[in-house]
Amino acid sequence: MDMFIRRFLRMRILIAVLIAMCFSVSVYSADKPADNPEGKKIYDGWCAQCHGYKGDADSFTKDVSLPKPRDFTFGSFKFRSTPSGDPPTDADITKVIRNGNPGTSMPPWSRFSDAEVKAIVGHVKSFAPDTFAMETKPINVGNPPKASKEIIEQGKELFKTAKCVECHGNAGRGNGEKGWQADFKTDWGYGIAPANYTHPWELRNGSSLEDIFRTISVGLSGTPMTSYMDSIPDDKRWALAHFIKSLQLTRKLGLALKVRKTETLPSKPNDPAWEAVDYLDLPMGGQLMFDTRNFTPVITNVRVRGLYTSKELAILLQWIDKKPNDGSDGKPSDSIRIQFPINKLEGTELPYFFMGTGKAPVNLWQWRASDKDKVSSMTAKGPDKIEPKEKPEATVMATYDDGLYSVVFKKELKPAKDDPVFEAGKFIPFAVAAYDGQNDEDGNTRGAISAWYYLMMEPPMPLRVYVFPPLVSLGVLIAGIGLRKRLRKKKV
Amino acid sequence: MKKVFVGVLVTMLLLPLFAFADSKPYEVVDVKDGGSIKGKIKSSGPVADPVLDIKKDEAVCGKSVPKQEYIISASNEVKNVLVVVEDVEKGKAIPKTDAVIDNQKCEFVPIVAIAYVGGKYIIKNSDPIFHNTSLGIILGEGKKRTVYNLALPNKDQSIEKPVKVPGLQIVQCDAHSWMRAYVYASKTPYATVTDAKGDFEIKDLLPGKYKVRIWHEGFGEVTKDVEVKAGQATALDHTFSKK
């Protein structure tokens, strides 16, 4: 009897294992298009509008998105954890669906259940059966070494010897010379620009240390980003990843910029003295209200700093442009504008945030790369009603260093008629529009724009700030000691 | 009873293997008394080979380089023409030759190569500068599907990779846009490239009717019907003309 039960149990385990194995095989076959109506249904309902019903990205959105939606039929997949030449894993595709793709039109999809995502993945794979016929597994990422000055230095050296610098530029801003050859293209035949490492929010394949290590290791299939796994050993790739990670900007978002008073202003836009000055980052978006709209902006951030003296206010605007254009190469010139309301603020109402209106006009200062140190002052009553002013209200200085534009506008604080008024202690609204000539941005409507922000020129600290608080503290201390003594007496 | 049960289960497990296997894998058989295809590829006249200007890494690459697209002899014989017998289902064993692609003075050597699925690519950098070697299945109109994209930052670096994806691929270096070569990854031993005299020979084919693809980077391609007879060499000549 006992023997029989044991044999029965053993057989049951064997059967269970065998059934489990059968099950996994049948799940694999369920990924075949014909067997996956659920995946097709969800894909057609939610994904096909961009990626096309046949997975070929033939859709309405292909002309209004940059990068364009992925054409799955090519079988090239940029974001993989697998070696160059291998297809992505299901987990890789799931990750893109779940997390979206930073800096692109691909949003994160949380509305689907895990089973639904699995069905979508199966349907996406069915568009490139050849690619997915190959077996693959993720590379071993292992444990990253800790960040240190030494490892970052080593990475910096490798950045040059591994020739990352040739495409991504000395400072990692994506402005390397070789990255801008005319036929620098993707598998899909589109032009492509090298990544700007300093903007982690633009890194499609993720911006963590592990993400960077993985990207260096296996490359981005279908792009010129090549795989270094076979040519640089693990520890050196980690050093490279640490260096690249160290280049990332810390974005400081907010509503207002503090502008400190100083004795003298830095003499140049790229003066290192600016680095110690507090900053505000303005996220930039495409202008979508007026023709010509910009659905494909490339300037994503403008960093603003300010300083003032008793006579002048200086505002520094910095942004990354991977390929500078001064108007001489057939492309429009790069340019930037800053705007202030003309009328004093009544309540909280601001002029329309892009170029104002007839009722609430704005002052514009514009700098163009083609005009070097010339500033254009204008009054705008809407994007089609911009009138130049005879007398410039401000002066401008500009530099371009290794992918970074730095432009300083300076304005005398002595008020003049119709000038924006800069008064210490007040919140002064400003907005910025930036234009990249390489992206055919025209210097007016087709550009990247910000919302309204405020700058506040901090009033110098009055003397009483240094006198009263210590006096109050002293008073509190004396009262406290007195109280303690009285309480002790009572107790006794 | 138990044995029967397990047997059924194992068969069920193995079934998908057959169902998903390549429908027509190449089958190696002993080819006795096979036939061959032999021929010469010519051009209807001389075609000037373009000279490419070089604007990067001139110290290593030089100022200009012949494209080596049209390598045509005095008697109009064309080198580097790919000749492939298509859809061969069975025949002799696949050679164990690796496909070597070298980056030499900012050119790929050779310009046209044959690789065998199951074999290896050996990708080398003989230059003291960065090259990346990217292989992609040609999809037309400048489009491709990346097969490998490998960085070779240092001189004398060499990377070995298995040949997995069959088909005609373009080899490119993203760092030097003028660099290009072609490699045909073959599932069978029946593919070759013409020599400097435009000659080729494909041996040991089982007798039968075949389609032969003749491809050249500049001239384009034609497909010809050929009948191979036991112990005989079938002639296949072609003359391209530049449009």
Assess contact for B200 and B212: CB atoms under 8 A. no
**Looking at residue A2, what is its pLDDT?**
56
| The two structure tokens encoding residue A419 | 């000038």
Put simply, the answer to whether A21 touches B161 (Cβ < 8 Å) is no
How many CB pairs (< 8 A) connect A and B? 108
Q: Which of A99-103, A389-393, B115-119 has the highest mean pLDDT?
A: B115-119
Give the model's confidence band at B13: pLDDT under 50 very low, under 70 low, under 90 confident, else very high: low
Residue A15: per-residue pLDDT: 55
Q: Could you give the CA distance from residue A102 to residue A200 in angstroms, rounded to a whole number? A: 9
Same domain, yes or no: A338 and A408 = yes
Taking residues A159-188, report their average pLDDT: 90
User: Are A131 and B145 an interchain contact pair (Cβ–Cβ within 8 Å)?
Assistant: yes
Chain B residues 150-169 with CB within 8 Å of chain A: 150-154, 157, 159, 161, 164-165
Name which of A60-74, A139-153, A159-173, B184-198 the model is least confident about: A60-74
Q: Which of A14, A226, A228 sits opposite B134 (nearest CB)?
A: A226
Report whether pLDDT(A33) > 80.
no
B183 has which bridge partners?
B113, B169
Is residue A478 a part of any domain in this protein? no
Give the domain CATH number at A161. Answer: 1.10.760.10
Closest CA in chain B for residue A165: B130
Residue A463 in domain: no
Contact B21/A at CB under 8 A: no
Residues A261 and A348 in one domain: yes
Asked if pLDDT for residue B16 goes beyond 80, the answer is: no
CB contacts, 8 Å: B151 with chain A:
162-163, 219, 226-228, 230-232
Mean pLDDT score, A215-221: 96
Q: Do B150 and A182 touch (CB under 8 A)?
A: no
Are both A294 and A429 inside the same structural domain? yes
Number of domains in chain A: 4
Cβ B226 vs Cβ B87: under 8 Å: no
- Is pLDDT of B11 > 80? no
A220 and A262 assigned to the same domain: no
Q: Which secondary-structure segment (H or E) carries A321?
A: none
Residue A465 lies in a domain: no
Same domain, A166 and A190: yes
Q: Specify the CATH number for the domain of residue A296.
A: 2.60.40.1190
**Mean pLDDT, to the nearest integer, of A454-474?**
86
Q: Is residue A481 part of a domain?
A: no
Is the pLDDT assigned to residue B7 strictly greater than 70?
no
Residue B19 confidence (pLDDT): 43
Task: Using alpha carbons, select from B128, B129, B121, B119 the residue that is nearest to residue B148.
Answer: B121
**Token pair listed for A278:** 């507090």
**Domain co-membership, A216 together with A276:** no
Question: Tell me: the pLDDT tens digits for A287-327?
Answer: 999 998 998 899 999 999 999 999 999 999 999 999 999 99
**Spatial contact of A196 and A320, defined as CB atoms under 8 Å apart:** yes
Looking at every residue in chain B, the average pLDDT score rounds to 91
Same domain, A405 and A345: yes
Is A137 contained in some domain?
no
Instruction: Read off the pLDDT of each residue in B102-124 and give the average, rounded to a whole number.
Output: 96
**Residues near A111 by Cβ (< 8 Å), separated by ≥ 6?**
none
pLDDT digit string, tens, across residues B98-108: 999 999 999 99
The answer to whether residues A286 and A169 belong to one domain is no
Task: List, in sequence order, every residue forming a beta bridge with A432; answer none if it has no partner.
Answer: A338
Per-residue confidence (pLDDT) for residue A79, from 0 to 100: 96
Q: What is the pTM of this model?
A: 0.84
- What mean pLDDT do residues B78-99 have? 96
Q: Are A373 and A348 in contact (CB under 8 A)?
A: no
Distance CA A216, CA A241 (A): 8
Return the SS3 of A116.
Answer: helix
Residue A235 sits in the same domain as residue A300: no
Instruction: Assess if residue A192 is contained within a domain.
Output: yes
The packing angle between helices A114-125 and A37-46, to 10°, is 90
Tell me the CA end-to-end span of chain B in Å, nearest whole number.
Answer: 74
Q: Are residues A218 and A279 in the same domain?
A: no
- For chain B, domains (ranges, CATH) are 27-90+189-243 (2.60.40.1120), 95-187 (2.60.40.420)
Phi-psi region of B158 (alpha: psi -120 to 50; beta: other; left: phi over 0): beta
Quote the pLDDT of residue A372. 85
In whole angstroms, give the CA distance from residue B141 to residue B144. Answer: 9
For residue A12, the model assigns a pLDDT of 58
Position A62 confidence tier, pLDDT thresholds 50, 70, 90: confident
pLDDT value at position A487?
87
User: Above 80 in pLDDT, residue B15?
Assistant: no
Q: Closest Cα partner for A316 from A363, A354, A263, A277?
A: A277
Residue A236: count of CB within 10 angstroms of its CB: 19
Contact B191/A at CB under 8 A: no
Going by pLDDT thresholds of 50, 70 and 90, the confidence category of residue A181 is confident
Residue A30 pLDDT greater than 70, yes or no: no
Task: Tell me whether residue A357 is in a domain.
Answer: yes
The whole-number pLDDT of residue A70 equals: 94
Same domain, A276 and A128: no
Give the residue among B76, B67, B82 at the shortest CA–CA distance from B47.
B76
- Per-residue pLDDT at A24: 42
Closest residue by Cα to residue B222 from B243, B208, B205, B202: B243
Identity (one letter) of the amino acid at A438?
Q
**Comparison of pLDDT for A238 and A20, the residue scoring more:** A238
Q: How much is the pLDDT for B21?
A: 43
Q: Determine how β-strand A453-457 pairs with β-strand B220-228.
A: unpaired
Tens-digit pLDDT profile for residues A191-203: 889 999 999 999 9
Decide which of A204 and A179 is more confident. A204
Query: DSSP letters of A173-197?
Result: SS--GGGG-TT-B-TTS-B-----T
| Position A185 confidence tier, pLDDT thresholds 50, 70, 90 | confident
- The answer for residues whose C-beta is within 8 angstroms of residue A430's C-beta and 6 or more apart is A315, A338, A339, A340, A452, A453, A454, A455
Give pLDDT tens digits for B148-170.
999 999 999 999 999 999 999 99
CA A310 to chain centre: 36
When pLDDT is averaged across residues A344-373 and rounded to a whole number, the result is 89
Range A82-98 burial, b when 16+ CB lie within 10 A, else e: bbbbbbbbbebbbbbbe
| Helix, coil or strand: residue A324 | coil
Query: What band does B18 get if pLDDT is binned at 50, 70 and 90?
Result: very low
pLDDT of A18 > 80? The answer is no
Letter for the amino acid at B12? M
Sign of CA dihedral B225, B231, B232, B236: positive
For residue A2, what are the domain limits? 1-28
Q: pLDDT tens, B24-66?
A: 789 999 999 999 999 999 999 999 999 999 888 899 999 999 9
Candidates B6, B143, B164; nearest CB to A189: B143
Kindly report the average pLDDT of chain A as a whole number: 90
The verdict on residue A141 lying in a domain is: no
If asked whether residues A302 and A415 sit together in one domain, one would say yes
- Whether the pLDDT of residue B20 is over 50: the answer is no
Q: Do A227 and B153 touch (CB under 8 A)?
A: no
Report pLDDT for A29: 41
Q: Report whether pLDDT(A63) > 80.
A: yes
